[in-house]
Structure 1
Amino acid sequence: MNRFPAIARPLATSVARVQVARSALATRSAIQIRNYSAEHQEESFEHFSERFVKFFNECDDLFELQRGLNNAFGYDLVPPTSVIEAALKAARRVDDYSTAVRIFEGVKAKTGSDALYKQYLDELAPLKAELGIETKEELGF
């Protein structure tokens, strides 16, 4: 004979409710289909360049600049010089010299070869002189 019939019954009822709730959640999650990238289209290199040049030209905040740099360098490609130029101008516009130097570090990491990095530096030399930006190597690090 059960010594605590009033306590045992609610406990058994609550256990049954939990089991029903778990099965309902399992059924619901099995029905949900998530297609996050179903409508994503391939982006051309030209569109990528235009999008980031426009972003950096409109950027007036250090946080947004760094977020844009993370996004631009996050792709499996080296950003074109037009994007680098816009990013360097944005870094100087928000008055953050260290971010401008870090942009060149990002380019060096993304190129993967000294020859390609040198080509970027040669092409960006007039802008570097105009903005007064030096690379990490030129600063002695």
Structure 2
Amino acid sequence: MSPSTLLRVAARGASSTFVRANVVRQPLVARARVPAIVANSFSTSARRCVHEEETFEEFTSRFEKEFEQVQDVFELQRNLNNAFAYDLVPAPSVIVAALNAARRVNDFATAVRVFEAIKAKVETPAQYQQYLDELAPLREEFGIHTKEELFPEEK
């Protein structure tokens, strides 16, 4: 067909020469009902259960396991966002697991940001100092400096 013939056919609309397939439509009731939340979800991952009634020990062990399974930077940052989203400060053992995961995926910047998140999450500077003291050997081993050490404020 020449391009002008195609244009004429397209402009004319549906022709009686084309045979339309007879499509049998099923009524809406017979179709499987999918909840709107699942149908409109853009996520390809499995649904995660909500941990409403969880003790601090269960929270700690859950995030330690999740940080042990981290394989890339995205997973590390997602788990850190989830851990710091709660109304509590993660235990030092969770922070150790997160720093080990940052070391494993070779992400120095995220390791520094972990300490920024702790500083933002604790209530007093004394609590932040306790975390720094507790994690000092690991910080020295990995060569992680806090933001205050990297960029001292001029007075």
TM-score, normalised by the number of residues in structure 2 = 0.64
1:96 to 107, 112, 119: 107
Name the CA distance, whole Å, in 1 between partners of 2:94 and 2:57. Answer: 11
Match of 1:129 in 2: 140
- How far off its partner does 1:69 sit? 0.3
For residues 40 and 55 of structure 1, do their structure 2 counterparts lie closer, same or farther at Cα, with a shift above 3 Å needed? closer
Partner amino acid, structure 2, of 1:81: P
Name the CA distance, whole Å, in 2 between partners of 1:58 and 1:40. Answer: 19
What number of residue pairs does the alignment pair up?
103
Q: Secondary structure at the match of 2:81?
A: helix
Match of 2:87 in 1: 76
Name the CA distance, whole Å, in 1 between partners of 2:99 and 2:115. Answer: 9
Partner amino acid, structure 2, of 1:52: F
Name the CA distance, whole Å, in 1 between partners of 2:146 and 2:99. Answer: 12
1:119 aligns with 2:130: yes
Name the CA distance, whole Å, in 1 between partners of 2:51 and 2:98. Answer: 26
1:58 aligns with 2:69: yes
- How far off its partner does 1:112 sit? 2.6
Partner amino acid, structure 1, of 2:61: E
For residues 103 and 40 of structure 1, do their structure 2 counterparts lie closer, same or farther at Cα, with a shift above 3 Å needed? closer
Structure with more relative contact order (C-alpha pairs < 8 Å, separation 6 or more):
1
- How far off its partner does 1:98 sit? 0.3
For structure 2, which runs of at least 5 residues remain unmatched after alignment? 1-49
For structure 1, which runs of at least 5 residues remain unmatched after alignment? 1-38
After superposition, the C-alpha distances for 1:37-69 in whole angstroms (9 at most, x for unaligned) are xx9651010000000001001111100000000
Runs of 4+ displaced beyond 4 Å: none
Percent sequence identity is: 64
Structure with more helix by fraction: 1
TM-score, normalised by the number of residues in structure 1 = 0.70
Partner amino acid, structure 1, of 2:75: E
RMSD over equivalenced CA pairs, Å: 1.3
Partner amino acid, structure 2, of 1:116: Q
Name the CA distance, whole Å, in 2 between partners of 1:49 and 1:40. Answer: 12
